Amino acid sequence: MKKFRKLLVLALSLLSVLIFVTGASAQPFRQAEALNVVLVHGAWADGSSWSEVISRLQAAGLHVTAVQNPLTSLADSLAATRRALALQDGPTVLVAHSWGGTVISEVGTDPKVTAYVAARAPDAERILSPCPENSPPCRYGQASRNSFTKLSETAFLDYFANGVARDKAEVLYAVQEPTAASLFNGRTTAAAWHSKPSSYAVSKLDQTISPDLERFLAARMKATTVEIEAGHLSLVSHPRDIADLILAAAGRGQQ
């Protein structure tokens, strides 16, 4: 018998966490059983930001792949994510943090998708500012060279990584991936959350994006919403909470 292939897409953003489930043909996300997880990082980061989440997912028996998101253009990020998904064998949960949620808003429309978790979820042909001008990281430092941006040490450690242990934050600062300034002008052609029931976890202590904006996004999606006592990098400061969310979406329960 030909295998029935489901794709669960889980996206975790700098803002929060959101779960979408497709319409009539999809099973509720809590009943789905995934074999794989694909993780997509956001701006000013690399795949290592998922490290403590990855170890928990692997301990639960899941096959995990972290996409090294190029952060050069939306088209490049979409292509990298689709390549990773094409290599998965069986039901898969796709997870994104921060700007990565923009990527899965487009990829999540794939007909194989039955569940989609995200937080950064722009509408089709719309742009969500990655760093509002009045937010501390923008006020205290983005350096730009050759059309690529990086956060200053103060902006990164004190605001972008608020709530993360200092030693971990310093490592993340050292490995932050330069991000194309033009990246944030990329517009998706679709928004998967329009057709999928959702759940959303708000980062209550986020100093990069207002938690009230996160709550607005969750309400707009009519999402079931939870709130986490976390800053912008909840996947680093609260890896157990994030892993538990992914495991629930994968039908594995908490570890």
Within a domain: 23: yes
Which of 135 and 228 is assigned the larger pLDDT?
228
Asked if residue 61 lies in contact with residue 90, where contact means CB atoms within 8 angstroms, the answer is: no
Quote the percentage of the chain above a pLDDT of 70: 71
């796709």: which residue's tokens?
A: 94
Is pLDDT at 83 greater than 80 in this prediction? yes
Is pLDDT at 131 greater than 90 in this prediction? no
Query: Which CATH number belongs to the domain containing residue 204 in this structure?
Result: 3.40.50.1820
Which of 196 and 45 is assigned the larger pLDDT?
45
Is pLDDT at 133 greater than 60 in this prediction? no
Rounded Cα–Cα distance for residues 221 and 237 (Å): 26
> What is the count of structural domains for the chain?
1
Residue 20: pLDDT band by 50, 70, 90 thresholds? very low
Within a domain: 90: yes
Q: For position 64, what pLDDT does the model report?
A: 94
Within a domain: 154: no
Q: For position 89, what pLDDT does the model report?
A: 86
Lowest mean pLDDT among 17-26, 59-68, 75-84: 17-26
Q: For position 27, what pLDDT does the model report?
A: 41
Q: For position 205, what pLDDT does the model report?
A: 92
Q: How do residues 211-252 score in pLDDT, each as one tens digit?
A: 888 788 778 877 767 788 999 898 999 999 888 888 887 888
């000013």: which residue's tokens?
A: 44
Alpha carbons within 13 angstroms on the beta-carbon side of residue 129 total: 11
Quote the percentage of the chain above a pLDDT of 90: 31
Within a domain: 135: no
- How many of the other CB atoms lie within 10 Å of CB of 16? 32
Which of 246 and 158 is assigned the larger pLDDT?
158
Question: pTM for this structure?
Answer: 0.82
- The residue type found at 207 is Q
Q: For position 168, what pLDDT does the model report?
A: 96
Closest CA to 234 of 182, 171, 162: 162
Residue 147: exposed, middle, or buried by beta-carbon count in 10 A (0-12, 13-18, 19+)? exposed
Q: For position 178, what pLDDT does the model report?
A: 92
What's the domain range around 201?
A: 7-126+188-249
Within a domain: 150: no
Residue 6: pLDDT band by 50, 70, 90 thresholds? very low
